[in-house]
Amino acid sequence: MKTTISRPRVAASGRKISPAQNGHGNGESSASRAGLKINPRLVEWLKKPKQNLIDGKWTPAASGKLFDVFNPADASVIARAPDSDKEDINRAVAAARRAFESGPWRAMTTSERGKLIWRIGDLILQNADELAELESLDNGKPRAVARVADIPLAADLFHYMAGWATKIEGNTIPISVPNFHAFTLREPVGVIGQIIPWNFPLLMAAWKLGPALTAGNCVVLKPAEQTPLSALRLGELLLEAGVPGGVVNIVTGFGETAGAALAAHDDVDKIAFTGSTEVGKIIVRASAGNLKKVSLELGGKSPNIIFKDVGDLNAAINGAANAIFFNHGQCCCAGSRLMIEREIFDDVVEGVATQARKIKLGPGLDATTQMGPLVSEEQLSRVSNYLHQGKQEGACYVTGGKRAGESGYFVQPTVIKDVKPGMSIVREEIFGPVVVAEPFTKVEELIPRANQTQYGLAAGVWTRDISKAHRIAAALKAGTVWINCYNVFDSALPFGGYKQSGWGREMGHEVLEHYTQTKAVVVGL
Ligand code: NAP
Ligand code: MG
């Protein structure tokens, strides 16, 4: 049975839609109440009214409406962003279409385009401290984590993609019809709609924009309503880097309005989406109208498998804890199903639980914080529902299992055992710091169980037996398999899902195939 969790949009979540004249929030008051310092420049930036980037200009929503943007550490309002709808999407798509068909973008040489994309990476690095702080305030993640992970990875993606701008090539094809010369061109797809989630707001924007721009497309990007701020700041950096007007349009708003209008738009050539499998299917249906191309990076319920011959058990325990607790479990590839060979089951479970108990929860801006809050009240209620269901279904909670504290959206890092395959906590993506541990005895039973999920995003295998490691990596139905490690990402490494975890790949040169189309040209000699 699929658990359906209603998505309280306005009233139930306490989220308010504000008229523009109500001004704006700022992060200073809530943070300073908690004794945390914010860079004064960021405070000033937060106070500035937030607008959409359309046709190279900052523009309020057509309706004039704004929605509140929250700091999830204390539920305070830090800013207000345009509550855009179909009209704003129409304007943004029209601007992207003009930029694609007739602007300076298409005339730019690939070398110039590559240099421009490189500059975006440089500007992200130059503003890394401020961006990390903004990401922490908006999403809740520790500032230090954003500073060493999200921000440099986002910069690196642009730097990596910049090099490809001059290397997207067609082929000459030796066709068997005499007296013809045939070759292929790889051309941009056109106007791309991109819809991204809130778990790595800037990084997801980079994963989407980097390859789209490298291949010469124009874009309308809709960030998640929970975390629109770093995308808007990135918009400023794009203009500073010299991205021509209309090439990247950034429109904030809700999925059901702005997102749906973008996915259904007849003048959008492709949608690239990251988020839940449920919404991924809605995107596919919405795209059918003009048969736009679709790429999807969706959910996961990734098995992380530890064998008794792992060698360094502590390294595997640390790896298993990191696999689930990194980013508060709000990772599509989180190692949320821990499968442990029976002889070491108790040791590993106790080891991961000990790590969980030691994690210091707190606001992302506090330097001592190791895990921040979940992103929103809605997400807190989703995860809490799963924790409640697991208890009702008879699972054993080794540690955690509840909300932490009264304010903010904190959840205790949780380790669960004594689970059965049919339980919702075993089958469904929880997207919180919650891992289920299951023992196994034989490899023959392990593989079908590991693959017994609608998802296929990632998996981990921990063993010193190199043959076994490779055999299992080959048998797992997952887009990424980590052996004796977890959560290792690189701009050069393709990432994406088998089965219902998605269509297509992000990163690597493979992603460029999803942002180009091939034209065959035949010349009669
Ligand atoms: P979601 O609804 O799939 O949101 C992802 C993006 O899609 C957001 O920008 C969202 O907009 C937009 N969206 C929502 N409904 C849409 C629609 N009908 N048409 C077009 N766009 C639409 O995810 P969520 O509600 O934030 O999180 C729910 C669950 O999704 C999580 O618990 C987790 O299981 C999963 N999730 C997975 C990933 C991943 O990386 N694979 C990331 C986030 C969440 P707004 O949010 O602005 O309304
Ligand atoms: Mg937020």
Strands (E), 137-223: 172-173, 180-188, 191-195, 218-222
> 393 and 270: one domain?
no
Residue at 51 is within a domain:
no
- In angstroms, rounded to a whole number, what is the distance separating the alpha carbons of residues 415 and 500? 26
> 322 and 289: one domain?
no
DSSP 187: E
Residue type (1 letter), 324: I
Q: Is residue 317 within 8 Å of 351, Cβ to Cβ?
A: yes
Probe target for ligand 1 pocket from 279, 330, 380, with the most ligand atoms within 8 Å of CB = 279
Q: For every one of its 525 residues, what pLDDT tens digit does the chain have, with 9 covering 90 and above?
A: 333 333 333 333 334 444 333 345 666 666 666 667 899 999 999 999 999 999 999 999 999 999 999 999 999 999 999 999 999 999 999 999 999 999 899 999 999 999 999 999 999 999 999 999 999 999 999 999 999 999 999 999 999 999 999 999 999 999 999 999 999 999 999 999 999 999 999 999 999 999 999 999 999 999 999 999 999 999 999 999 999 999 999 999 999 999 999 999 999 999 999 999 999 999 999 999 999 999 999 999 999 999 999 999 999 999 999 999 999 999 999 999 999 999 999 999 999 999 999 999 999 999 999 999 999 999 999 999 999 999 999 999 999 999 999 999 999 999 999 999 999 999 999 999 999 999 999 999 999 999 999 999 999 999 999 999 999 999 999 999 999 999 999 999 999 999 999 999 999 999 999 999 999 999 999
Q: Using one digit for the tens of pLDDT, what is the confidence trace for 200-251?
A: 999 999 999 999 999 999 999 999 999 999 999 999 999 999 999 999 999 9
> 288 and 391: one domain?
no
Which residue shows structure tokens 């998640």? 224
DSSP 297: E
Neighbouring CB atoms inside 10 A of 229's CB total: 26
Segment holding 91, helix H or strand E: helix 86-102
User: Pocket around ligand 1: residues whose beta carbon is below 6 Å from it?
Assistant: 7, 195-199, 222, 224-226, 254-256, 259-260, 263, 274-276, 279, 282-283, 297-299, 332, 382, 429, 431
> 364 and 256: one domain?
no
> 310 and 281: one domain?
no
Q: Which two tokens stand for residue 461?
A: 């295998």
- In angstroms, rounded to a whole number, what is the distance separating the alpha carbons of residues 89 and 85? 6
> 227 and 115: one domain?
yes
Residue at 80 is within a domain:
no
Residue at 149 is within a domain:
yes
In terms of DSSP bridges, do strands 52-54 and 57-59 run parallel, antiparallel, or are they unpaired? antiparallel
Q: Which two tokens stand for residue 437?
A: 């541990």
Q: Is residue 228 within 8 Å of 252, Cβ to Cβ?
A: yes
Sheet holding 65-71, edge to edge: 17-19, 65-71, 76-82
Active site residues: 297, 332
> 322 and 460: one domain?
yes
- In angstroms, rounded to a whole number, what is the distance separating the alpha carbons of residues 24 and 26? 7
Query: Which atom of ligand 1 sits closest to the CA of residue 298?
Result: 41
In sequence order, the β-bridge partners of residue 270 are 192, 293
Residue at 463 is within a domain:
yes
> 428 and 459: one domain?
yes
> 283 and 346: one domain?
no
| Residue whose CA lies nearest to ligand 1 atom number 44 | 275
Query: 154 CB contacts (<8 Å, ≥6 apart)?
Result: 124, 202, 203, 205, 206
Q: 143 alpha carbon to ligand 2 midpoint, in Å?
A: 14
Probe target for ligand 1 pocket from 202, 276, 377, with the most ligand atoms within 8 Å of CB = 276
Which residue shows structure tokens 């509140």? 68
Q: Would you state the pLDDT for residue 37?
A: 85
What CATH number did the domain enclosing 168 receive? Answer: 3.40.605.10
> 326 and 428: one domain?
yes
> 103 and 239: one domain?
yes
- In angstroms, rounded to a whole number, what is the distance separating the alpha carbons of residues 490 and 484? 17
> 482 and 345: one domain?
yes
Query: 498 CB contacts (<8 Å, ≥6 apart)?
Result: 456, 457, 477, 478, 479
Sheet holding 502-503, edge to edge: 57-59, 52-54, 248-250, 218-222, 191-195, 270-274, 293-297, 502-503
Selection from 367, 366, 365, 376 nearest residue 411 by Cα: 376
Round to the nearest angstrom and report the end-to-end CA distance of the chain.
63
Q: Using one digit for the tens of pLDDT, what is the confidence trace for 84-103?
A: 999 999 999 999 999 999 98
Annotate 14-27 with DSSP letters as a single string.
T--EEEGGG----H
Q: Is residue 318 within 8 Å of 306, Cβ to Cβ?
A: no
- In angstroms, rounded to a whole number, what is the distance separating the alpha carbons of residues 395 and 420? 8
Residue at 79 is within a domain:
no
Which residue shows structure tokens 């008229």? 19
Q: 235 alpha carbon to ligand 2 midpoint, in Å?
A: 18
Q: 258 alpha carbon to ligand 1 midpoint, in Å?
A: 13
Q: Is residue 255 within 8 Å of 225, Cβ to Cβ?
A: yes
Domain with 349 in it = 303-494
Q: Which two tokens stand for residue 80?
A: 């207000």
Residue at 10 is within a domain:
no
Residue at 243 is within a domain:
yes
Annotate 337-383 with DSSP letters as a single string.
EEEEEGGGHHHHHHHHHHHHHHPPB--TTSTT-SB---S-HHHHHHH
- In angstroms, rounded to a whole number, what is the distance separating the alpha carbons of residues 218 and 104? 12
In sequence order, which ranges of 375-522 are alpha helices (DSSP H)?
377-392, 424-427, 443-450, 466-475, 510-513
Give the number of domains in the chain: 2
Measured over the CA atoms of residue 438, residue 444, residue 447 and residue 448, the dihedral's sign is negative
